[in-house]
Amino acid sequence: MSDELKPDELLNKIDHKPDGGDWMDTPVQIRPGMYCYAAKAESVKTLGLPNARPWNPAEDDWKLPENWQEIIHNGIKERLERFRTFKVFMDICVRCGACADKCHFFLGTGDPKNMPVLRAELLRSVYRNDFTRAAKLLKFLPGGEFLAGGRPMTMDVLKEWWYYFFQCTECRRCSVFCPYGIDTAEITIMGRELLNLLGLNIDWIATPVSNCYQTGNHLGIQPHAFKDMLEFFTEDIEEITGVNVEPQFNKKGADILFITPSGDVFADPGTYTCQGYLILFKYLKDKYGLDVTWSTYASEGGNFGFFTSHETMKRLNAKMYAEARRLGVKWILGGECGHMWRVIHQYMDTMNGPADFLEEPVNPITGTKFENAKSTKMVHITEFTADLIKHGKLELDKSRNANRIMTYHDSCNTSRGMGLLEEPRYVLKNVCDNFFEMPENTIREQTFCCGSGSGLNAGENIELRMAGGLPRANAVKYVHEKFGVNTLGTICAIDRAALSTLMEYWVPEVEVCGIHELVGNALILPGEHDREMDLRMEPLPGKEDIDE
Amino acid sequence: MNQKYMLPLAGVVLLFLLAYAGVEGAGLQWFFGIVIPYLAVIAFIWGFVNRVMGWADSAVPFRIPTTCGQEKSLPWIKQNRIDNPDTAWGVFIRMVLEIFLFRSLFRNTKAAFHRDENNRLSYSWEIFLWLGALAFHYAFLVTAVRHLRFFMEPVPWCLKALEYMDGIVQLGLPNIFMSGLVLLAAALFLLARRIFDAKVSYISLAADYFPLFLIIGIAVTGIAMRYFTKVDVVGVKEFTMGIVTFQPVIPAGVGPLFYAHLFMVSVLIVYFPMSKLMHMGGIFLSPTRNMANNTRAKRHVNPWNYAVDVHTYEQYEDHFRDKMIEAGLPVDKKE
The DSSP-derived string for A23-68 is: GGGS-----TTSSPPBPPHHHHHHTT-S------TTSS-----TTH
Do B226 and B153 fall into the same domain? yes
pLDDT digits (tens, 9 = 90+) for B127-149: 999 999 999 999 999 999 999 99
- At A207, is the secondary structure helix, strand, or coil? helix
Which chain B residues have a beta carbon less than 8 Å from that of A81?
Answer: 57-59
Do A350 and B305 form a contact (C-beta atoms < 8 A)? yes
Residues with Cβ within 8 Å of residue A482, at least 6 apart in sequence: A436
Q: Which pLDDT band, with edges at 50, 70 and 90, does B2 fall under?
A: confident
For residues A154, A155, A160 and A161, what is the CA-based torsion angle, rounded to 10 degrees?
80
Residues A260 and A229: their CA atoms lie apart, in Å, by 14
Do B249 and B135 fall into the same domain? yes
- Verify whether the Cβ–Cβ distance A83 to B105 is below 8 Å: no
Cα four-point dihedral sign B121, B125, B129, B130: positive
- Verify whether the Cβ–Cβ distance B62 to A118 is below 8 Å: no
Do B48 and B175 fall into the same domain? yes
Give the 3-state DSSP-derived string for chain B, with helices as H, strands as E and coil as C: CCHHHHHHHHHHHHHHHHHHHHHHCCCCHHHHHHHHHHHHHHHHHHHHHHHHHHHHHCCCCCCCCCCCCCCCCCCCCCCCCCCCCCCHHHHHHHHHHHHHHCHHHHCCEEEEECCCCCCCEEEEECCHHHHHHHHHHHHHHHHHHHHHHHHCCCCCHHHHHHHHHHCCCCCCCCCCCHHHHHHHHHHHHHHHHHHHCHHHHHHCCHHHHHHHHHHHHHHHHHHHHHHHCCCCHHHHHHHHHHHHCCCCCCCCCCCHHHHHHHHHHHHHHHHHHHCHHHHHHHHHHCCCCCCCCCCCCCCCCCCCCCCCCCCCHHHHHHHHHHHHHHCCCCCCCCC
A294 DSSP β-pair partners: A249, A258
Do B279 and B52 form a contact (C-beta atoms < 8 A)? no
Strands (E), A357-473: 378-380, 406-409
Neighbour order of strands in the sheet with A487-490:
A406-409, A487-490, A511-514
- At A357, is the secondary structure helix, strand, or coil? coil
B93: domain CATH number is 1.20.950.20
Residues B89 and A137: their CA atoms lie apart, in Å, by 41
Peptide bond into A354 cis (omega under 30): yes
pLDDT digits (tens, 9 = 90+) for B216-241: 999 999 999 999 999 999 999 999 99
- Verify whether the Cβ–Cβ distance B77 to A422 is below 8 Å: yes
User: How many folded domains does chain B comprise?
Assistant: 2
Residues with Cβ within 8 Å of residue B63, at least 6 apart in sequence: A346, A350, B287, B291, B292, B293, B294, B295, B300
- Verify whether the Cβ–Cβ distance A416 to B67 is below 8 Å: yes
Which chain A residues have a beta carbon less than 8 Å from that of B140?
Answer: none
Do B322 and B217 fall into the same domain? no
Do B39 and B173 fall into the same domain? yes
* C-alpha distance from residue B34 to each of A49, A237, B39, B130, B265 (Å): 58, 86, 9, 38, 13
Residues with Cβ within 8 Å of residue B14, at least 6 apart in sequence: none
Which chain A residues have a beta carbon less than 8 Å from that of B330?
Answer: 249-252
The chain B residue lying nearest A170, using CA atoms, is B66
- Verify whether the Cβ–Cβ distance B77 to A95 is below 8 Å: no
Residues A220 and A207: their CA atoms lie apart, in Å, by 9
- Verify whether the Cβ–Cβ distance B66 to A175 is below 8 Å: yes
Best A146, A249, A482 member to test B by mutation, with max B CBs in 10 Å, is: A146
A296, A419, A422 ranked by CB distance to B329: nearest: A296
Q: What is the pLDDT of residue A3?
A: 52
Residues with Cβ within 8 Å of residue A350, at least 6 apart in sequence: B61, B62, B63, B295, B299, B300, B301, B302, B305
CA distance B276 to chain A (A): 5
A82, A97, A371 ranked by CB distance to B59: nearest: A82
Q: Pick from A132, A107, A123: which is nearest to A24 by CA?
A: A123
Do B35 and B170 fall into the same domain? yes
pLDDT digits (tens, 9 = 90+) for B13-72: 999 999 999 999 999 999 999 999 999 999 999 999 999 999 999 999 999 999 999 999
Q: Pick from B124, B122, B104: which is nearest to B113 by CA?
A: B122
Residues A144 and A437: their CA atoms lie apart, in Å, by 52
Do B295 and B324 fall into the same domain? no
Residue B301 has pLDDT above 70, yes or no: yes
Residue span of the structural domain in which B327 resides = 306-335
Q: Do the bridges between strand A256-259 and strand A511-514 make them parallel or antiparallel, or are there none, so unpaired? A: unpaired
Residues B210 and A71: their CA atoms lie apart, in Å, by 34
Q: What is the pLDDT of residue A388?
A: 98
- Verify whether the Cβ–Cβ distance B296 to A344 is below 8 Å: yes
Tell me the backbone φ, ψ of residue A389, rounded to 5 degrees: -65, -45
- At A380, is the secondary structure helix, strand, or coil? strand
Do A222 and A249 form a contact (C-beta atoms < 8 A)? no
- Verify whether the Cβ–Cβ distance A376 to B296 is below 8 Å: yes
Best A8, A151, A180, A316 member to test B by mutation, with max B CBs in 10 Å, is: A180
Do B256 and B333 fall into the same domain? no
Could you tell me how far CA A310 lies from the centroid of its own chain?
16
The dihedral region occupied by A444, where left means phi > 0, alpha psi between -120 and 50, and beta the remainder, is left
Kindly report the length of chain B: 335
Q: For chain A, what percentages of helix, strand and coil (3-state, to nearest 5) are there?
A: 50, 5, 40
Q: What is the pLDDT of residue A2?
A: 45
The chain B residue lying nearest A317, using CA atoms, is B310
Residues A231 and A237: their CA atoms lie apart, in Å, by 10
CA distance A17 to chain B (A): 6
- At A511, is the secondary structure helix, strand, or coil? strand
The chain A residue lying nearest B281, using CA atoms, is A92
Residues A418 and B66: their CA atoms lie apart, in Å, by 8
> What's the distance, Cα to Cα, between the start and end of chain A in Å?
43
- At A97, is the secondary structure helix, strand, or coil? coil
Do A385 and A516 form a contact (C-beta atoms < 8 A)? yes
Do B30 and B40 fall into the same domain? yes
- Verify whether the Cβ–Cβ distance B73 to A420 is below 8 Å: yes
Which chain A residues have a beta carbon less than 8 Å from that of B73?
Answer: 370, 372, 383, 420, 423
- Verify whether the Cβ–Cβ distance A420 to B71 is below 8 Å: yes
Q: Pick from A402, A439, A434, A360: which is nearest to A534 by CA?
A: A402
The chain B residue lying nearest A229, using CA atoms, is B327
Do B161 and B149 form a contact (C-beta atoms < 8 A)? no
Best B55, B74, B215 member to test A by mutation, with max A CBs in 10 Å, is: B74
A84, A102, A186 ranked by CB distance to B59: nearest: A84
- Verify whether the Cβ–Cβ distance B61 to A423 is below 8 Å: no
- Tens of pLDDT along chain A (548 residues)? 445 789 989 999 899 998 878 899 899 999 999 999 999 999 999 999 999 999 999 999 999 999 999 999 999 999 999 999 999 999 999 999 999 999 999 999 999 999 999 999 999 999 999 998 888 888 888 878 888 889 999 999 999 999 999 999 999 999 999 999 999 999 999 999 999 999 999 999 999 999 999 898 888 899 999 999 999 999 999 999 999 999 999 999 999 999 999 999 988 999 999 999 999 999 999 999 999 999 999 999 999 999 999 999 999 999 999 999 999 999 999 999 999 999 999 999 999 999 999 999 999 999 999 999 999 999 999 999 999 999 999 999 999 999 999 999 999 999 999 999 999 999 999 999 999 999 999 999 999 999 999 999 999 999 999 999 999 999 999 999 999 999 999 999 999 999 999 999 999 999 999 999 999 999 999 999 999 999 999 999 998 875 54
- Verify whether the Cβ–Cβ distance B329 to A223 is below 8 Å: yes
The chain B residue lying nearest A247, using CA atoms, is B329
**Entry pTM:** 0.95
Do B179 and B311 fall into the same domain? no
B71, B121, B202 ranked by CB distance to A18: nearest: B202
Best A79, A96, A105, A215 member to test B by mutation, with max B CBs in 10 Å, is: A96
**Residue A100 DSSP one-character state:** G
Q: Which pLDDT band, with edges at 50, 70 and 90, does B187 fall under?
A: very high
Residue B1 has pLDDT above 90, yes or no: no
For residues A51, A53, A56 and A62, what is the CA-based torsion angle, rounded to 10 degrees?
-40
Tell me the backbone φ, ψ of residue A282, rounded to 5 degrees: -65, -45
Kindly report the length of chain A: 548
- At A216, is the secondary structure helix, strand, or coil? coil
Which chain B residues have a beta carbon less than 8 Å from that of A295?
Answer: none
**Residue A448 DSSP one-character state:** P
Do B143 and B286 fall into the same domain? yes
Q: What is the pLDDT of residue A547?
A: 52
Q: Which pLDDT band, with edges at 50, 70 and 90, does B172 fall under?
A: low
Do B211 and B182 fall into the same domain? yes
- How many A×B Cβ pairs under 8 Å? 329
Residue B261: is it exposed, middle or buried by C-beta count within 10 angstroms (0-12/13-18/19+)?
buried
Residue A532: is it exposed, middle or buried by C-beta count within 10 angstroms (0-12/13-18/19+)?
middle
Cα four-point dihedral sign B313, B319, B320, B325: positive
Which chain B residues have a beta carbon less than 8 Å from that of A86?
Answer: 58
